[in-house]
Amino acid sequence: MIEPNATLDASPTLAEALNNDAAVTAVADADAVSAPTDAQSPLTTDLTNNVHHQRWQSYLKDCRELIHLVEPLEVAGRIVKVTGLIMVATGIKMPIGGACYIPLQDGGRVEAEVVGFDGENLLLMPQSAVDGVVPGAKVFSMEITETLPKPQFGRPPRRRAQDRARHFPVGDALLGRVVDAAGNPLDNLGPISTEVTAPLSGRVINPLMRAPIEEPMDVGVRAINAMLTVGRGQRLGLFAGSGVGKSVLLGMMARYTTADVIVVGLIGERGREVQEFIEQILGPEGLARSVVVAAPADVSALMRLQGANYATAIAERFRSQGKNVLLIMDSLTRYAMAQREIALAIGEPPATKGYPPSVFAKLPALVERTGNGARGEGSITAFYTVLTEGDDQQDPIADSARAILDGHIVLNRTLAESGHYPAIDIEQSISRAMHNITSKEHQQAARLLKQLYSRYLRNQDLIAVGAYQPGSDPMLDVAIKKRDQINAFLQQDIDESAYMQACLQQLAQTVS
């Protein structure tokens, strides 16, 4: 090996010193080392004849060869305790959110994530059942550790912790596929072959760079298009108890929306429902332009959290390609419950209704990732279902969700029970972006329809017992006359699509 300092230390002439500087600058630029392309350049010509340059080159070449021989040292920790949902590992240093695995004696392995630490010990949350883990089992990090970044131009080394975390497949290869929270196919259609991967946590968008919500988005559902118009990049909550038609409504949107891509995150719902949603509600034509991420109730809390983040990461990738994405997350409440499970297991004290404070920090962190990208990028319009237990709208998750979302659509059990589907309660629902993205006439017509609808509801009992005298309230008279027309307008069958233009015409006819 050549010792470069020997030549550098010999007191150089001014011209040599200048040449040395040039040589050092040139080797810092790895492109110039591997491929001196421009033969005409005087600098290049000088360098090829420069003895210092040649020695440096030779030295760096030796270094490169040596580096290839180095094997990275793999550090392993040990499992010292497993209680309930948490494993404690010692002897390994990893950041919060870092992924690791524990090899099992039967050849399998348990993957886990660092969710906290206590002194020198790491608290790990396994992604699957921990059967087979023995006391003292080894723990290995799964972080991407690049010992030396290769000079690949246009692709900076992974400096951020989030970039060094595990990457999962994203992009077009996922279209039409059903995957689990780790990107493994669940649909028996073979492996997902893609080079395009992304970490689970996206980059935060500067709020000042985000494009505003300016254009309406056609979701294919009449009551929403006309009465609660959704903007491209808006985030809405779908608030409902169980069995009032959330899944059917989301499926209708997925099938009839004009969005380019649909990403569906089925988080913490029953396993049976996943298949039902895909086969019956979404159908083949809906699935063709969708990606479904399923993390049903029986997978670990960590995988349920991961499922929601993964679905968001997939949507973010499509958005960065300029696509308009519809993200459907069923449900946000189950996501919060998964976080509650983890937080309580690592010893966070419960605050509101058993939910520890970290839950209320995780919700906005997830929701803020969606919405419009920077100008010129695409958008993620998102629908999050929020379970209102016993139709209680005051649930802490519902409260918190209502505050962080740009609107909420409430499904009403009474409407569902009377066969009024989709059971959207237009009185209680609101789209906060509607007045920015719709015309004055549209807003007036929608307001009038809402007034007629409410007026009828308020007086329903009077009318039913015959106590109302026609003529005493002109508005109510119109409401009674138009009752059936309004109901027909607000209802929509599962197989019926309703496009924006047609919705607006029908709205105008209904209230005229």
Ligand X SMILES: Nc1ncnc2c1ncn2[C@@H]1O[C@H](COP(=O)(O)OP(=O)(O)OP(=O)(O)O)[C@@H](O)[C@H]1O
Distance CA(311)–CA(91), nearest Å, equals: 34
Distance CA(217)–CA(225), nearest Å, equals: 8
> In whole angstroms, how close is the CB of 219 to ligand X at the nearest point?
14
> In whole angstroms, how close is the CB of 498 to ligand X at the nearest point?
11
> In whole angstroms, how close is the CB of 267 to Mg ion at the nearest point?
11
Among 360, 421, 453, 456, contact with ligand X (rule: CB under 6 A): 421
Strand-strand pairing, 177-179 and 290-295: parallel
Distance CA(342)–CA(359), nearest Å, equals: 10
With binding defined as CB under 6 A, does residue 227 bind ligand X?
Answer: no
With binding defined as CB under 5 A, does residue 333 bind Mg ion?
Answer: no
With binding defined as CB under 6 A, does residue 247 bind ligand X?
Answer: yes
Length of the chain, please?
A: 512
Closer CB to ligand X, residue 418 or residue 501?
418
Q: Which stretch binds ligand X (CB under 6 A): 11-19, 55-63, 235-243, 399-407?
A: 235-243
With binding defined as CB under 6 A, does residue 248 bind ligand X?
Answer: yes
Residues of span 267-306 touching ligand X by CB under 6 A: 273
> What are the residues whose beta carbons fall under 8 Å from the beta carbon of 6, sequence distance 6 or more?
none
Distance CA(181)–CA(191), nearest Å, equals: 15
How many binding residues for ligand X (CB under 6 A)? Answer: 14
Among 45, 242, 280, 428, contact with ligand X (rule: CB under 6 A): 242
Among 137, 295, 422, 424, contact with ligand X (rule: CB under 6 A): 422
- Element containing residue 386 per DSSP (H, E): strand 379-387
Closer CB to ligand X, residue 246 or residue 482?
246
With binding defined as CB under 5 A, does residue 247 bind Mg ion?
Answer: yes
Q: How many CB atoms lie within 10 A of CB 11?
A: 6
Distance CA(242)–CA(257), nearest Å, equals: 24
Tokens read off for 14:
């001014």
Q: Is 376 helix (H, G, I), strand (E, B) or coil?
A: coil
DSSP structural state of residue 223: I
Distance CA(127)–CA(347), nearest Å, equals: 19
With binding defined as CB under 6 A, does residue 131 bind ligand X?
Answer: no
Distance CA(125)–CA(113), nearest Å, equals: 5
Instruction: End-to-end CA distance of the chain: give it in Å, rounded.
Output: 90
> In whole angstroms, how close is the CB of 490 to ligand X at the nearest point?
11
Residue 22's binding partner out of Mg ion, ligand X, none, with CB under 5 to 8 Å set by partner kind: none
With binding defined as CB under 5 A, does residue 19 bind Mg ion?
Answer: no
Q: Which stretch binds ligand X (CB under 6 A): 10-18, 131-139, 241-249, 462-470?
A: 241-249
> In whole angstroms, how close is the CB of 286 to ligand X at the nearest point?
14
How many binding residues for Mg ion (CB under 5 A)? Answer: 2
Closer CB to Mg ion, residue 247 or residue 324?
247
With binding defined as CB under 5 A, does residue 385 bind Mg ion?
Answer: no
Q: Which stretch binds Mg ion (CB under 5 A): 243-251, 319-327, 412-420, 439-447?
A: 243-251
Residue 242's binding partner out of Mg ion, ligand X, none, with CB under 5 to 8 Å set by partner kind: ligand X
Q: Residue 264 in contact with residue 325, Cβ under 8 Å?
A: no
Closer CB to ligand X, residue 233 or residue 251?
251
Q: Is 179 helix (H, G, I), strand (E, B) or coil?
A: strand
Tokens read off for 77:
């920790």
With binding defined as CB under 5 A, does residue 324 bind Mg ion?
Answer: no
- Per-position b or e across 426-435, b if 16+ CB within 10 A of its CB: beebbbbbbe
Applying CB under 6 A, which residues contact ligand X?
A: 240, 242-248, 273, 421-422, 492-494
Applying CB under 5 A, which residues contact Mg ion?
A: 246-247
